[in-house]
Amino acid sequence: MKKVIFALLASVLVTAVILSGCIGDKSGGNLSNVTIGYQPSTHQMAYTSAQSMDWWSTNLSKLGVTTVDKKLFESGPSESIALSSGAIQVAYIGAAPLIPAISQNNSDLKIIAAVQINGSSLVVPKNTTYNDPQDLVGKKIGTFPPGSIQDTLLKSWLVANGVDLKKVEIKAMSQGDAEAALMSGSIDAVFLPHPAPAVIEQGGYGKVVYNSGQMEADHACCVIAVSQKFIDEHPDIVKEIVRIHIDATKYTNENPEQAAEYYAQMTGVSKDTVMKSTGEWDGKWVSDPHLIENYVVSYSQAQFDQGLIPRALTAEDLFDTSFYDEIMAEQK
C-alpha cells in the first residue's frame, strides 16, 4: 500500500514539474537564444540603433535570454521562409513578403509593430528621359522578388496607370545585382528601397525619378513579425521586443546623425551615403502598427488580384497589436 501511495505522489510531483515547465515557457524564461533577421536598408535603422547600443542583449537578458544573434537577408521573401521555419524568431521585414507565407503555407506569422513607411524609389540611367509610367512600356525593370513590397507596389502602380504588365519585363533581383545591371545597361530601371537609390545617384550612373510615396501615399513598408507560437510561448519576450523597438524608433528619429553612424558601422555603407539617403527619401520611421493596417490588407488584396496567393487576408490574419497597445496604455 505504501508503495502505491508513494508511486501516486511521485506521479503528481512529476506532473507538477511538467506543468510548471510549461508555465515557464509561456513566461519566456526558458528561452536562451533569440535570432533577429534584418535587411541592409535604411528602412530598418531602428534595428541597427538598438543593436549598436546593445539594447537587445541587455534588455532581453533580464528575461533569461543569454544570446541575441543577428542574421542578414537581402530581401523579404527569403526572410519570411526563415521566420516560418523557426530559423529566426524575429524579423525586421517588409509587410508584403509575409502575406504569401501566411496565405499559401498557413504559417502563423503576425505583425507586432510597424517599422517604416514609404522609402523606395524608381531609378533610371542618368541620361534617360522619364515623364510618366507609360515610358516604362517595353522596358526591363529590376526589383525584389514577387511577394516583396517593391514588387507588389510597382505592379499595382503600373496597373493603376494603365500599363499592361505583359508589356513590361519585371526582373526579380537582389539589390546588388539590380545596381550592377543598371550600371551595365542590361536593364532600363530599378525600383529599390533606400539606401540603394542614394548609392546609385552617388555613383553617377542613375537618377531618382519617382518615389514610392507618390505611388501610394504613406504606404506600409517594413514591420516586425514573429510567429504565433513564439507569442504563445514567450509573451514577455515579445512585449520587450516591441518596447525596445518603440524606444529605438524614437531614438533614431531624434538622433538621425548618430543613428546613421550606427547604421554605417553595421553595414559598411558610408555615413555620407546614409545621410544622403535619409535626407532625400520620403520615408519615415514609425512603430504604431495601427498606422499601416489598411495598407497591408490592401497588399494582400493586390497579391490575390495578381494571382500570387489563393486567398486575401484580413487585419486579424496579419496583425497582433496587443503588445503595442499594452505598452502605450502603460505610458499614459
CATH code for the domain in which residue 99 is found? 3.40.190.10
Q: Is the pLDDT of residue 1 over 80?
A: no
Residues 209 and 251 occupy one common structural domain: no
Q: Which of 60-64, 165-169, 223-227, 299-303 has the lowest mean pLDDT?
A: 299-303
Domain that holds residue 293: 9-117+222-331
Give the per-residue pLDDT at 76. Answer: 87
Residues 326 and 226 occupy one common structural domain: yes
Give the per-residue pLDDT at 148. Answer: 87
Task: Give the percent of the chain with pLDDT over 70.
Answer: 91
Residue 4 lies in a domain: no
Residues 31-58 have a mean pLDDT of 96
Residues 187 and 210 occupy one common structural domain: yes
Q: Is the pLDDT of residue 5 over 90?
A: no
Residues 111 and 232 occupy one common structural domain: yes
Residue 192 lies in a domain: yes
Q: Is the pLDDT of residue 24 over 80?
A: no
Q: Would you place residue 210 in the very low, low, confident or very high pLDDT band (cuts 50, 70, 90)?
A: very high
Give the per-residue pLDDT at 91. Answer: 98
Q: Would you place residue 27 in the very low, low, confident or very high pLDDT band (cuts 50, 70, 90)?
A: very low
The domain boundary residue, chosen from 169, 198, 215: 215
pTM: 0.86
Q: Is the pLDDT of residue 195 over 70?
A: yes
Residues 105-120 have a mean pLDDT of 92
Residues 196-204 have a mean pLDDT of 94
Give the per-residue pLDDT at 105. Answer: 73
Residue 299 lies in a domain: yes
Residues 98 and 247 occupy one common structural domain: yes
Q: Is the pLDDT of residue 283 over 80?
A: yes
Q: Looking at the DSSP assignment, which residues form a beta bridge with residue 35? A: 69
Q: In total, how many domains does the chain have?
A: 2
Mean pLDDT (the chain, rounded) = 90
Give the per-residue pLDDT at 241. Answer: 98
User: Bigger pLDDT: 7 or 300?
Assistant: 300
The domain boundary residue, chosen from 165, 184, 215: 215
Residues 113 and 232 occupy one common structural domain: yes
The domain boundary residue, chosen from 215, 246, 270: 215
Residues 91 and 233 occupy one common structural domain: yes
* Cα–Cα distances in angstroms (integers) from residue 100 to residues 45, 97, 122, 148, 158, in the given order: 25, 6, 24, 10, 21
Residues 206-226 have a mean pLDDT of 95
Residues 190 and 145 occupy one common structural domain: yes
Residue 1 lies in a domain: no
The pLDDT tens digits for 125-176 are: 999 999 999 999 999 999 999 888 899 999 999 999 999 999 999 999 999 9
Residues 146 and 104 occupy one common structural domain: no
Residues 18-31 have a mean pLDDT of 43
- Report the 3 state secondary structure along the chain: CHHHHHHHHHHHHHHHHHHHHHHHHHCCCCCCEEEEEECCCHHHHHHHHHHHCCHHHHHHHCCCCCEEEEEECCCHHHHHHHHHHCCCCEEEEECCCHHHHHHHHCCCEEEEEECEECCEEEEECCCCCCCCHHHHCCCEEEECCCCCHHHHHHHHHHHHCCCCHHHCEEEECCHHHHHHHHHHCCCCEEEEECCHHHHHHHHCCCEEEEEHHHHCCCCECEEEEEEHHHHHHCHHHHHHHHHHHHHHHHHHHHCHHHHHHHHHHHHCCCHHHHHHHHHHCCCEECCCHHHCHHHHHHHHHHHHHCCCCCCCCCHHHHECCHHHHHHHHHHC
Q: Would you place residue 282 in the very low, low, confident or very high pLDDT band (cuts 50, 70, 90)?
A: very high
Residue 83 lies in a domain: yes
Residue 25 lies in a domain: yes
Residues 252 and 276 occupy one common structural domain: yes
Q: Is the pLDDT of residue 293 over 70?
A: yes
Residues 152 and 93 occupy one common structural domain: no
Q: Is the pLDDT of residue 17 over 70?
A: no
Q: Is 291 exposed, middle or buried (0-12, 13-18, 19+ CB in 10 A)?
A: middle
Residues 185 and 309 occupy one common structural domain: no
Give the per-residue pLDDT at 14. Answer: 34
Instruction: Tell me the HSE value of 210 on the side-chain side, using a 13 A CA sphere.
Output: 21
